[in-house]
Structure 1
Amino acid sequence: MGMFSRMSDIIQANINGILDKAEDPVKMVKLLIQEMEETLVELRSVAATNLAEKRQVERQISKLKQQAADWQTKATLAIEKEREDLARAAIIEKHQCQQKLDALAEEMTAVEDVLSKLQQDTARLQDKLLEARTKQKSLMIRERSAAVRMTAKSKTHSVKIDDAIIRFEQYERRIDDLEAQVDAYDLVDESHSLHSQFKELESANQIEQELAELRKKVA
């Protein structure tokens, strides 16, 4: 295995602790799940091998029990026929079968212990794998949520910038309008002032003419 050196490392692993230290938690939890799945495959392979061995031992035990029973029947028959020598030989064969049965019984116990341990380890590993997959879903949801929020914020920020530009352009247009109004007032005032000056000149000219006429009359 890569990340874990042995089965106990996986069982005792603190998934949250590992992911908290990871630079990329989503990638790390994916690697954790991959290694756990590979380990689970290995456990099932070992379990299959032990199950096959158990069946073989069971067949051998069944065969030896049948042989022991047959030798017991033969020993009984020999006694009935007063063939003690044959009975003794049959009993010896029966004892040999029993010795083999005792050895197979120990082997069966060892195989069953291994299978029991494998079953426990498999159950623990499946629980750990479920925990990792649940964590993976949570991380993926958080990642998608963060991406959606970031996209939304980016769009909102873009909209805000566009709005600011539009408002600035509106302000510029308003300023241009106000300046134009001021310039218009200045033009009107200048035009009015010029007109007034000419009016004053014309009025003064009329006054001078009337004064001249009055002087002539008086003279």
Structure 2
Amino acid sequence: MSFFSRLKAIFGAKASRALDQAEDPNEMLDYSYERQRDLLTKVRRGVADVATSRKRLELQEAKLQEGVVKLEGQARQALAAGREDLARTALERKAGVQAQLGSIGAQREQLQAEQDKLSAAEQKLETRIEAFRVRKETIKAQYSAAEAQTRIGEAFSGISEDMADVGMAMERAEDKVQTMQARAGAIDELLESGALDDLSTGGDVVDRELAALSSQSAVEEDLARLKGEIGAGSPSAGELGEGAR
């Protein structure tokens, strides 16, 4: 395939896709139905025209028939008056009129046959158009139902996507709640174990060590004081023995 052939095929495919997207089945069906109705109107107009032409021939034929009768009477009168020449002339005219009658009769019969054909075609076309109308309305109803179902499906699809996003958000929220609960539980355990008691005293590590040393020195001083008081005020070991006797 040449480059231009491929390019033509590509443009043709794109144009067909664009037309398919832009085409509304309801509008196309209604348009086709209106075109068929227009055709039926033209056929009916043709039937009316043929019928009018046939009627004109019938009127002309009736007038010529009157002429034949009149010429026949004139020929009789001429013969009665002894004017055979006039009778001959009247009969010659009568023959010409009868020839016209024959031609008009043939045309009238031809028009009648044409009118019958057009009338039959009109009836068939009207039947087909009515059947098309019923089918058109059925297809339009089916298309509308399918279109509604498609919209509902798309709506449900959108809801499903939204629910999926909501579900993911809920999962993330639950994960955060569980993380916070785990952290809170860990702090409770530390508080119960006393590992966080020193935190309430404040200060850094050096301050706490200095406070511990001061406390220990005070304890030693109190202990020495008590020993001194006990040593000064208590009896000797001999006094304790005599007292015991």
Asked if TM exceeds 0.5, the reply is: yes
Distance in 2 between residues matched to 1:196 and 1:78, nearest whole Å: 156
C-alpha displacement of 1:140: 1.9
Q: Does 1:137 align with 2:137?
A: yes
C-alpha displacement of 1:45: 3.6
Distance in 1 between residues matched to 2:91 and 2:83, nearest whole Å: 12
Distance in 1 between residues matched to 2:48 and 2:187, nearest whole Å: 104
**Equivalent AA in structure 1 for residue 164 of structure 2:** A
SS in structure 1 of the partner of residue 194 of structure 2: helix
Show CA shifts across 1:131-164 (max 9, x none): 2222322222222222211211222222222233
Q: Does 1:101 align with 2:101?
A: yes
C-alpha displacement of 1:194: 2.5
Per the alignment, residue 152 of structure 1 pairs with: 152
Distance in 2 between residues matched to 1:178 and 1:195, nearest whole Å: 24
Per the alignment, residue 8 of structure 2 pairs with: none
In structure 1, the gaps of 5 or more residues are 1-22, 199-215
CA 1:38–1:196: 2 relative to 1, 3 Å: closer
C-alpha displacement of 1:85: 3.0
Q: Answer yes or no: is the 8 Å Cα contact 1:29–1:132 preserved in 2.
A: no
How is 1:110-189 mapped onto 2 (pairs within 5 angstroms)?
Answer: 110-189=110-189
How is 1:1-219 mapped onto 2 (pairs within 5 angstroms)?
Answer: 26=25, 29-30=29-30, 32-194=32-194
Distance in 2 between residues matched to 1:78 and 1:196, nearest whole Å: 156
Q: RMSD across aligned C-alpha pairs, in angstroms?
A: 2.9
Q: Answer yes or no: is the 8 Å Cα contact 1:32–1:132 preserved in 2.
A: no
**Equivalent AA in structure 1 for residue 144 of structure 2:** R
C-alpha displacement of 1:197: 9.9
Work out the percentage of aligned pairs sharing the same amino acid.
18
Distance in 2 between residues matched to 1:140 and 1:154, nearest whole Å: 21
Q: Answer yes or no: is the 8 Å Cα contact 2:190–2:196 preserved in 1.
A: no
| Deviates further, 155-164 or 187-196 | 187-196
CA 1:37–1:196: 2 relative to 1, 3 Å: closer
The structure number with the bigger radius of gyration is 2
C-alpha displacement of 1:84: 3.1
Show CA shifts across 1:89-148 (max 9, x none): 222222222111111110100111111111111112222222222232222222222221
C-alpha displacement of 1:28: 5.1
Distance in 2 between residues matched to 1:67 and 1:95, nearest whole Å: 11
Distance in 1 between residues matched to 2:111 and 2:168, nearest whole Å: 83
Distance in 2 between residues matched to 1:82 and 1:141, nearest whole Å: 87
**Equivalent AA in structure 2 for residue 70 of structure 1:** K
Distance in 1 between residues matched to 2:189 and 2:51, nearest whole Å: 111
Relative to the length of structure 2, the TM-score reads 0.62
CA 1:141–1:197: 2 relative to 1, 3 Å: closer
Relative to the length of structure 1, the TM-score reads 0.69
**Equivalent AA in structure 1 for residue 59 of structure 2:** R
CA 1:144–1:197: 2 relative to 1, 3 Å: closer
C-alpha displacement of 1:196: 11
CA 1:55–1:153: 2 relative to 1, 3 Å: same
In structure 2, the gaps of 5 or more residues are 1-19, 199-226, 228-245
**Equivalent AA in structure 2 for residue 112 of structure 1:** Q
**Equivalent AA in structure 2 for residue 179 of structure 1:** T
